Amino acid sequence: MMNSNIQEYINIVKNGEFLVCNEQILLVKHVENCFENENIYVDEEQLEKYLNLQKYFNFDLFPWEKFVFTLHNCTYSAPGILRWPKLILILGRGSGKNGYLAFEDFALTTPVNGIRKYDIDICATSEDQAKCSFMDIHEMLESRKNKMQKHFKWNLTEITNLKTNSTIRYRTSNPKTKDGGRPGKVDFDEYHAYENYKLIDVITTGLGKVAMPRMTIATTMGDIRDGPLDHLLEDMLSILNGVIPDNGQLPFICRLDDDKEIDDEKNWHKANPSLRYFPYLLNELRSEYINYKRDHLGNSAFKTKRMNRIGSGVAEPVAKWEDIKQTNRPIIDLNGRPCVFGIDYTKTTDFMSCGLLFLVDKNYYWLTHSWICSQSRDLSRIRAPLRDFESRGLLTFVDGNEIDPETPVFWLMNQMKNYRIIGGALDSYRYSLLKKPLAALGFDCDKKGRNNLKMVRPSDIMQIAPTITRTFANHNIIWGDDALMRWYTNNVVIKYDKKSNMLFEKVEAKSRKTDGFFALAHAFTQNEKLDRYSPKRMQIASKLMDVYTC
On the 0-12 / 13-18 / 19+ scale of CB atoms within 10 A, 129 is middle
The total of other beta-carbon atoms located within 10 Å of residue 179's CB is 10
Residues of the chain with pLDDT under 70: 1, 173-180, 311-315, 534-550
Nearest to 63 by CA among 252, 234, 220, 287: 252
Q: Where are the alpha helices (DSSP H) in 379-504?
A: 386-391, 407-415, 431-441, 458-473, 483-490
pLDDT for 82 equals 98
- pLDDT tens readout for residues 57-94: 999 999 999 999 999 999 999 999 999 999 999 999 99
Strands (E), 280-321: none
- pLDDT tens readout for residues 164-178: 999 999 998 655 545
Contact indicator for 69, 89 with CB cutoff of 8 Å: no
Contact indicator for 173, 121 with CB cutoff of 8 Å: no
The total of other beta-carbon atoms located within 10 Å of residue 149's CB is 12
d(CA 55, CA 40): 29
Contact indicator for 528, 423 with CB cutoff of 8 Å: no
Going by their DSSP bridges, the two strands 502-506 and 338-345 should be labelled as unpaired
Q: Which residues of 20-56 are buried (b: 16+ CB within 10 A; e: fewer)?
A: bbebbebbbebbeebbeeeebbbbeeebebbbeeeeb
pLDDT for 547 equals 38
Nearest to 226 by CA among 472, 484, 23: 484
pLDDT for 17 equals 87
